[in-house]
Structure 1
Amino acid sequence: MAEEHGKATQAAVRERNLTTALQLVLSGNGTATRAGIARRTGLTSATVSSLLAGLIADGLVIEGQLAESTGGKRATTLRIAAEDHVLLALIVQPGLVRGAVIDLLGAEVATASQRPATPGSLEDVRTVVRKLVAATTARIVAVGVQVPGIADGPLIRESVQLGWTDVDLARELAGIVEAPIHLINDADAEAIADSTAADEPGADDFGASQLFVSLSTGVGAAVILDGEVVAGASHRAGEIGHVPVLFGPEAPVCACGNRGCLEEVVSVTSLLGLPHGTDLEALDLAALAAAPESRHRIADGARVLARALLLVGAALDVPNIVIGGAAPRLGPEFIGHLRAEAARHPVKAAMPLGFRYARVAQEQPYRGAAQYALRSTLGISWAG
C-alpha cells in the first residue's frame, strides 16, 4: 500500500511539474529555455530536460532558435506548438450560436455561426461544431462551451433563455468532436476573459475581488474572490437574473414565470425595448440607446440595478463591479447612471463601489470559454 501511495505521489508531482514547465514555455512567448525553466522552478537540469522531452514528444512544445549568448553555449529556445493544437470555443445564445477555432496562444483561426430558427436548438449547436471541426486540421485539445445557464460538470442544469433542463451537452456532441468538452456559464466565461486581460501591459488594476455582471438578452453575474470564480454550493453563484426587484400586478412577467425579475428590467433587450431572443450582435446598440424612449428605460434600469448591486457588493465585500455582455455597447450614459445612483446612496461601513465596463468582451468574445477549456484540460493560462 505504501509503495502504491509513493508511486501515486510521484506521478502527481511529475504532473504538477509538467504543467509548470508548460506554463513557463507559454508565458515565455518563444524565449523560454531549459536553463531558464530550471532557474525559475528550482528543479535540476536533468529533471527539466526530462519534462521538456515529454512535452516535445506529445507535440505540445517545439524547439526554436538559439537564444542570445550569455558567455557560454547558446541555449535552444522553446515555444508552444500553437499551430498544431487548437481549442474550440462556442457561445450559445437564444438568437445566435457562434464559435471559433482558437490556437494555444489565444489567436482566432476560424469562426462559424448559425442563427437558430428556434432558441435552444441543439442541432444548431451541433452544426456550428461540425463547421469548426471541418475548419482545422490541427489536433483539437478541448472544447469550451459558454451558455446562459447553470453549468454543472457535463450538464446544463437549467437555462431559462434556452429552455434547457438537465441537458448533457457532452453527450449531444459525442461523435462530432473527440476532445474533452467543458461547459461554463456565460458570466463566468466573460469574467475569466476580463481577468486574464488584467495582466496585459497598460491594463489598469481593479483588484482580484469583484462582481462581474453580464447584461445581454439575460442577466447573470460572476463572483470573483481573490482571483478565483466562486461556483457556490450548487454551481449557482451569481444567478441574480431571476430575483424579483419590482412587485405588484404591474410588474412585467418574466420568461421564468415570475413577475418583476431583474432580467425583465435591466437586460439589454429590456433596456432597449427589444423582443426576447433578439440577436444583439446584428444591431447598432449605441444608436438604439440614443433614442429618447430608450434613454428613459436605461436611466430607470440603471437605478434599479445600482440599488441591487449596493446590497450584493456590501454582502460580498467586493469593491469593484464590472459590467459586461452587450452592455458596453450602450455607451457611457448607462454606466454613468450606475455610478451616480451608487454615489447617491452610500452604504455605511461598506467600501464604495467602483464601476467599469469589461475590457475584452466585445473584441475577443471567445477568450473566456477558450481559456476555461485550456485551463481545465492542460492546467495553463494565458495570464500565467
Structure 2
Amino acid sequence: MAEDHAKATHSVVREHNLTSALQLVLSGEGLATRASIARRTGLTSATVSSLLARLIGDGLVVEGSLAESTGGKRATTLRVDAARNVLLSVIVQPGLVRGAVVDLLGDVVQTVAHRTAATATVEDVRSVVRRLAAATTARVVAVAVQVPGIVDADLIRESVQLGWVDVDLGRELAGIVSAPVHLVNDADAEAIADYAISDEFGANQLFVSLSTGVGAAVIVDGDVLAGATHRAGEIGHVPVLFGEDAPLCACGNRGCLEEVVSVTSLLGLPHGADLEAVDVAALAALPESRERIAAGARVLARALLMVGAALDVPNVVLGGAAPKLGPDFIGHVRAEAARHPVRAAMPLSFRYAKTAQEQPFRGAAQYALQATLGVSWAR
C-alpha cells in the first residue's frame, strides 16, 4: 500500500515538473535552455534533461540554436514546436459559427466561417470542426468551443441565444479529431484572453461581454469563478425594467438586462442579429442609437454597482462588441456610476477589453491549452 502511494506521489510530482518545464520553454520565447530551467525550478540538471527528453519525445519541444556564450560551452536553446502542434478554436453565435487553427504560440494559422440560415445547430459546429481539422496537417492538441450559455463540463446546460438545453456538445464532437474537447462560456473565454495580456486592472475584476447577449465573468485572485452550478456571471436575464411596457426578452421574461444593454438592443437591431455583418461604429453614431446608448449605459452602470459591491470587485472590463460603440458609451457608464457612489464599497473603474475584437479565438484556445497541457501564454 505504501509502495503504491509512493509511486502515485512520484507520478504526480513528475507530471508537475513536466508542466513547469513546458511552461518555461513556452514563456521563454525560444531562449530557454536546460540550465535556465534547472535554475528556475531548482531541479537537478539530470532531472531537467530527463523532463526535456520526454517533452521532445512527445513532439512538444524542439531544440533550437546555440545560446549566447556565458564563458563556457554554449547551451542549446529550446522552443515549443508550434508548427506541428495546434489547437482548434470555435466560436458559436446565433447566426454564425467560426473557427481557427491556432498554434501553440497563440497565433492564428487558418480561419473558417459558416453562416447559418437560422440559429446555429450542433451540426453547424461539427461542420466547422471538420473543416478546421481538414485545414491542418499538424497534430491537434485540443478542441475549444466557445458558446453563449451555461457550460458544465461537456454539457451546454442552457443557452437562451442558441435555444439549446442540456446539449452534450462534448459527446457530439468526440471522434472528429483524436483530441480532447473543451467547452467554455463566451464571457469566460473573453475574460481569460483579456486578463492574459493586460495586468492594468490586477487580479480582481468583472468582465462584462455585450454583443447579441449579455454575459459576465468574475475573476478573483486571477481565477475565473464557476459558481455553485457553473452559472457565475449569468446576469443577462436579470430583470432591470418592470411593467407591461418593458421589452420582451427571448427567455420569456420582460425587461431583462440583455434586452436593454446588449449591443443589438442598443443599436435597434433584431434579436440575434449578426454583429459581424454590420458597421457597429456607424450605427452607434446615429441619433436614435445615441439615445438608446445613453439610456442603456445608465441601466448597465446601476446594475453593475450592485454586482461590484456584492463581490467586492472594483474593476469592470467591457468586452464583446462593446468597444466598437466608442468612447461615448463607456463615458456614460462611468458618469452614471460616479453619480451614485455606494457607501462602504470601492468605486468602480471601467475600461474596454483589449483582445477580444482583434484576437477573438485566443480565449477559448487559452482555456483548452491550460486544460490539456497545464500551460498558458504568459502576459
Which interval holds the TM-score relative to the shorter structure?
over 0.9
Pair 1:98 & 2:98 matched? yes
Q: Secondary structure at the match of 1:232?
A: coil
Give distance in 1, aligned partners of 2:318 and 2:339: 19
Give distance in 2, aligned partners of 1:120 and 1:361: 21
Pair 1:225 & 2:225 matched? no
Give distance in 1, aligned partners of 2:272 and 2:306: 29
Shift of 1:282: 1.2
Aligned residue in 1 for 2:255: 260
What's the TM-score, normalizing by structure 2? 0.99
Pair 1:216 & 2:211 matched? yes
Give distance in 1, aligned partners of 2:336 and 2:170: 43
1:147-166 → structure 2 map (5 Å cutoff): 147-166=147-166
Give distance in 2, aligned partners of 1:270 and 1:219: 11
1:26-37 → structure 2 map (5 Å cutoff): 26-37=26-37
Shift of 1:117: 1.2
Give distance in 1, aligned partners of 2:349 and 2:300: 14
Q: Secondary structure at the match of 2:376?
A: coil
8 Å Cα contact 2:247-2:254 kept in structure 1? yes
Aligned residue in 2 for 1:73: 73
Kindly provide the amino acid, as one letter, of the partner of residue 270 in structure 2: P
Runs of 5+ unmatched residues, structure 1:
200-204
8 Å Cα contact 2:101-2:111 kept in structure 1? yes
Pair 1:326 & 2:318 matched? no
What's the TM-score, normalizing by structure 1? 0.98
Structure 2 residue corresponding to 1:371, chosen from 352, 366, 374: 366
Give distance in 2, aligned partners of 1:171 and 1:381: 26
8 Å Cα contact 2:96-2:120 kept in structure 1? no
Shift of 1:174: 2.5
1:255-300 C-alpha deviation (Å, 9 max, x unpaired): 0011100000000000001011111011110000000110000010
Give distance in 2, aligned partners of 1:177 and 1:3: 38
Shift of 1:71: 0.5
8 Å Cα contact 1:217-1:269 kept in structure 2? yes
Aligned residue in 1 for 2:137: 137
Aligned residue in 2 for 1:202: none
Give distance in 2, aligned partners of 1:244 and 1:383: 38
Pair 1:83 & 2:78 matched? no
Aligned residue in 2 for 1:43: 43
What's the Cα RMSD here? 0.7
8 Å Cα contact 1:120-1:163 kept in structure 2? no
Pair 1:282 & 2:277 matched? yes
Shift of 1:383: 1.7
Give distance in 2, aligned partners of 1:38 and 1:175: 39
Shift of 1:95: 1.6
8 Å Cα contact 1:289-1:295 kept in structure 2? yes
Q: Secondary structure at the match of 2:236?
A: coil
Q: Secondary structure at the match of 2:65?
A: strand
Aligned residue in 2 for 1:234: 229
Aligned residue in 1 for 2:353: 358
Equivalent pairs counted in the alignment come to 379
8 Å Cα contact 2:187-2:215 kept in structure 1? yes
Q: Secondary structure at the match of 1:16?
A: helix
Give distance in 1, aligned partners of 2:268 and 2:177: 39
Give distance in 1, aligned partners of 2:79 and 2:365: 19
Give distance in 2, aligned partners of 1:173 and 1:211: 31
Kindly provide the amino acid, as one letter, of the partner of residue 130 in structure 1: R
Aligned residue in 1 for 2:289: 294
Shift of 1:241: 0.3
Shift of 1:175: 2.7
